[in-house]
Amino acid sequence: MSDARTLFDKIWQRHVVVDRGDGYHLLYVDRHLMHDGSAAGFARLRQRGQTVRRPDLAFATPDHYNSTAGKTTADIPDPQHRRLVEQIQENTKASGVTLFYLGDERQGIAHVVGPEQGITQPGVTLVCGDSHTATHGALGALAFGIGSSEVTHVMATQCLWQRKPRSMRVNVDGTLGPGVGAKDVILAIIARIGAAGGVGHVIEYAGSTIRALSIEGRLTVCNMSIEAGARAGMVAPDDTTYAYLHGRPLAPAGAAWDRALAYWRTLPSDAACRFDREVSLDAAQIAPMLTWGTSPEDAVSILDRVPDPASAPDATKRDAMIGSLAYMDLKPGTPMDQVAVDRVFIGSCTNSRIEDLRSAARVVRGRKAVVPSWVVAGSGLVKRQAEAEGLDKVFREAGFEWREPGCSMCVGMNGDTGLPGQRIASTSNRNFVGRQGRGVRTHLVSPAMAAAAAVTGRFTDVRRLLA
């Protein structure tokens, strides 16, 4: 028997506290991220007379319910949402949990703040009451979202019962063409394996294309692992990872850095290890992508046409396509670059980092938005850096709104929503029915493609604008 192990196996085995013998393991949790949806967890903790076991390993920031129109709770129009944001301040103060609150430049979307602050590190287990916690796997962590009752369990015990998933490797090799980025890569992967393609698995993304991505690009890829049905997504740490983490506020320093680095270098999957499933893609075949339906798997390139349900492999898929096209108000055979948009949203935990804003600004520079368009930085620090680089000026001069950090229109639960019937080009991660507001039609795209839609009023091959 080979003792070669995957990155996932190495982290999992290191964190097992109890093996119950039936596939379930009690895992130790190294980091717990909280947001403004954690109020219920704190309430249950109080009801049980318990306290947060390791407040030093917990970090919180409001992101879901705060308004991106301002920096204070007074800017939140819904009183219930305002109260949830206020409660995170009260709960963290009482429990000793570190909080990045409104007005603090470090505040932002949890999945932007974690890597940015050095909370996320290779080899750690990290959880959060949010499905897109898989994002943090980009730094070689085992990170996944948990439910409300599980949040309470981690608060009280710093452990969590989990059934061990299977392993899957997605290899992407080759050089991406101009105008093609990480968002296009993950949309191409999901289109290939389907929205249920990763169910029961942790995906490790590998290959020369993934290795060539920046950490920000890897964060985008891992973020949408959940859209492929996976429990988590991961990229093995390498020199790119170490350079990104070095000097971060909460990353190891001095002798502790040297010890951490020595451990991190042992984490990549062994050459002889075996995965339960493997999939390969050729980067040269990936073009700028966008979705046409109401599932992230409904993705095609900008060169394609709206698919015809008659081409579906079975009746179930055909009926689903018919329903999606009816909701999206699209006709089969329509060229994707002839579909007009009503609004553009650039933001979310998928695409709101400085690299994303730079990518969009390159397209926008010297042009004007012809539809209402928003840019929402993922954190106060991203916003500050963008302003230092003059990106805010580029967007504002083009007619974009430059908003405060938060989840914003991605979740549609904070007042930032579209109007019924509007078609939105969005850099977020989900295009479900009503995700961005009742009756809103969402198309997932990269920041560059969103910017191209903003300045042309329709889905446009961004490569034409960059040529």
1 pLDDT higher than 70: no
Domain 7-277 adopts which CATH fold? Aconitase; domain 3 (3.30.499)
Q: Is the domain 288-466 a CATH 3.30.499.10 member?
A: yes
Query: Token pair for residue 1?
Result: 């028997």
Which residue has tokens 């318990």?
50
**Which DSSP category does 107 fall into?**
-
Write down the pLDDT at residue 2: 67
Q: Where are the alpha helices (DSSP H) in 19-128?
A: 39-47, 79-95, 110-117
Q: Considering the chain, what is the average pLDDT of its residues?
A: 97
Mean pLDDT for the stretch of residues 440-446: 98
117 pLDDT higher than 80: yes
How far apart are alpha carbons 65 and 53 in whole angstroms?
Answer: 26
- CATH 3.30.499.10 domain position(s) in the chain: 7-277, 288-466
Regarding beta strands 98-99 and 24-28, do their DSSP bridges make them parallel or antiparallel, or are they unpaired? unpaired
Tell how many helices (H) and how many strands (E) occur in the chain: 16, 19
pTM over 0.75: yes
Per-residue pLDDT of 14-36, as tens digits, reads 999 999 999 999 999 999 999 99
Per-residue pLDDT of 339-388, as tens digits, reads 999 999 999 999 999 999 999 999 999 999 999 999 999 999 999 999 99
Per-residue pLDDT of 168-210, as tens digits, reads 999 999 999 999 999 999 999 999 999 999 999 999 999 999 9
Query: Token pair for residue 433?
Result: 């029915």
**Which residues does 208 contact at the CB level (< 8 Å), separation at least 6?**
172, 173, 174, 283
The rounded percent of the chain whose pLDDT value lies above 90 is 98
The rounded percent of the chain whose pLDDT value lies above 70 is 100
Per-residue pLDDT of 255-277, as tens digits, reads 999 999 999 999 999 999 999 99
Per-residue pLDDT of 450-465, as tens digits, reads 999 999 999 999 999 9
